[in-house]
Structure 1
Amino acid sequence: MFTQDMVAVGGEPAVELFVARSVRPAGRAMLVIHGGPDWDHTYLRKPLDQLSDRYQLIMPDLRGCGRSTRGLADDQYTPAAATDDLVALLDALGLGQVDVLGFSYGGLIAQRLAVAAPERVRRLIIASSGILPVPPDAFDGWTERAERLAAEAAVWADSALSGPELTRAAAVASAGANVWRQEALADYLDRLARIHFTAEWLSPLRAGILPPARPEDAVRRLAAAGHPLLLLHGRQDMTFPAALAEDAATLIPSARAVVLEEAGHMTHVDQPQEWLNAVARFLR
């Protein structure tokens, strides 16, 4: 069961984050950072909700996302601002140190949190994301990827779509690329139907003023921070190549990679039990 609250995290400009929290158990707390970024946290609730008897799950919508504060100026949507919001959220909730799971774009924000405020992070999970930059030729020769992504490309090229309608349509059109197993697709589409999509971050992206989310020199800085680090990935991820997660794990002494077979970008949908087991084993 989750409680849902608005939590103030900033004064200039005023920002409140919509936060879902599982009923507090005796155990540790885990901060879950969603991707998108113009999505919300809800697509990550399952299977993580199965850990709510052992961990307090803290699942915010980032600024401009879901039911958190919207309508800010374009230059207020930055990875640095989102990271500062999360530190302020931990302060507001009275949490000193937490485990952190960042998914996709949220994995890049999680890296920023780990290097900006290392004392606030106990263990770090980077799921379906990347520490190493994706080279331009990373997916060369993968014909099926091009075929599965064609529908999403058509949506982004449709000038009749804009705002949250565009973000939602693109997410639905990309479902066949993000989920590898056909039998998992219905569950994923149901999750998409429940998301409060926005397009707040799309505006600065298209204006060319959105800074890169990946922290500079991420490998060296994460290695220096020394957090136990899990790189959790799907073998058929079409956004962040699985091989880069394995490569990063060889470069960071405290890291290990777990790559699940028959799973795409939404690994937790394709292989929910294996994905959850990997998270639970790492957090012990």
Structure 2
Amino acid sequence: MRLHVREFPGPADRTLLVVHGGPEWDHSYLVEPLDRLAGEHRLLFPDLRGCGRSPAAEPLTPDAMVDDLAELIGSSPVDVLGFSYGGLLAQRLAIRYPELVRRLIVASSSVLPVPPDAFAGWAEYERRRAAQPSVGELEGADLVRAEAFAAAPCDVWREESLPDYLRRLERVTFTATYQEVYRSGRFPSARYPDALDRLAGIPLFLLHGRQDMTFPASLVARTPCTDAVVLEEAGHMAHIDQPEAWLDAVRRFLSF
């Protein structure tokens, strides 16, 4: 597997691997503001197997994606930031290859499972979800793209941040690699039910938006970790709602 990887130069012993979410997105929506760490850190932004500009190949599983990342890392440990679904993959990487992960940042994701009533009683959540436009009869990558745009007002909390986010979505290369295996029930969960126990011994950092409507911020306080930051006035795309504070938190985590 030859992954498409965008690299920003920096010290090899201060490499940060960034794992995007989706999974059928690419890495591009996460480049800013992390690109400001270039020079201080070597930055690696891969497109996961079958995502963005990386080719698709069987098996289409979380473990295969994680094996690709381990091969990309090589033999020297790196810091890993996993965002949203990428946060689940980053945990899986740290559990299966603990010798390759120096510090683990789980951003806009969760270590604990999301309870089914996580957003019950939150009026703004209900309002924004109800206002989501229908994506019609689309299929394939067109469907993935349309779903991303439809969910944008739920993913970004601050109205003034929405135009920037929509511009980023315009640049994303969406794919539909995992649609068939997901719909057929053959796509395994990336989440380990006992992830906290399995992650013991690896520095774990949590970075979240208070108004995240995908992974509830309430789980952060219930998760034992090395350090955690919950940003106010920030949704699922907390790095877009609060880019300066988000980047400051990443810098702090990487200094431990």
Counterpart position of 1:89: 72
Matches within 5 A, 1:78-227: 78-91=61-74, 95-152=75-132, 154-155=134-135, 158=136, 160-223=137-200, 226-227=201-202
Q: Which amino acid aligns with 1:191?
A: R
1:44 aligns with 2:42: no
Q: Which runs of 5+ in 1 are unaligned?
A: 1-14
Cα distance, 1:177–1:55 mapped onto 2, change above 3 Å: same
- TM-superposed CA distance for 1:203, in Å, is 1.7
After the TM superposition, which segments of 4 or more aligned residues of structure 1 sit over 6 Å from their partners? none
- TM-superposed CA distance for 1:147, in Å, is 2.1
- TM-superposed CA distance for 1:27, in Å, is 5.3
1:261 aligns with 2:236: no
* Alignment size in residue pairs: 255
Counterpart position of 1:275: 246
CA–CA separation in structure 1 for the residues paired with 2:189 and 2:13: 35
CA–CA separation in structure 1 for the residues paired with 2:119 and 2:218: 11
Counterpart position of 2:218: 243
- Could you say what secondary structure the match of 1:32 adopts? strand
CA RMSD, 1 decimal: 1.3
Cα distance, 1:97–1:278 mapped onto 2, change above 3 Å: same
Cα distance, 1:26–1:212 mapped onto 2, change above 3 Å: closer
State, as a whole percentage, how many aligned pairs show the same letter: 58
CA–CA separation in structure 2 for the residues paired with 1:24 and 1:278: 19
- TM-superposed CA distance for 1:153, in Å, is 6.8
C-alpha contact 2:13 2:78 (8 A) present in aligned 1: no
Q: Which runs of 5+ in 2 are unaligned?
A: none
TM-score of the two chains, using structure 2 as the length reference: 0.96
TM-score of the two chains, using structure 1 as the length reference: 0.87
Matches within 5 A, 1:62-77: 62-70=48-56, 72-73=57-58, 76-77=59-60
CA–CA separation in structure 1 for the residues paired with 2:25 and 2:94: 22
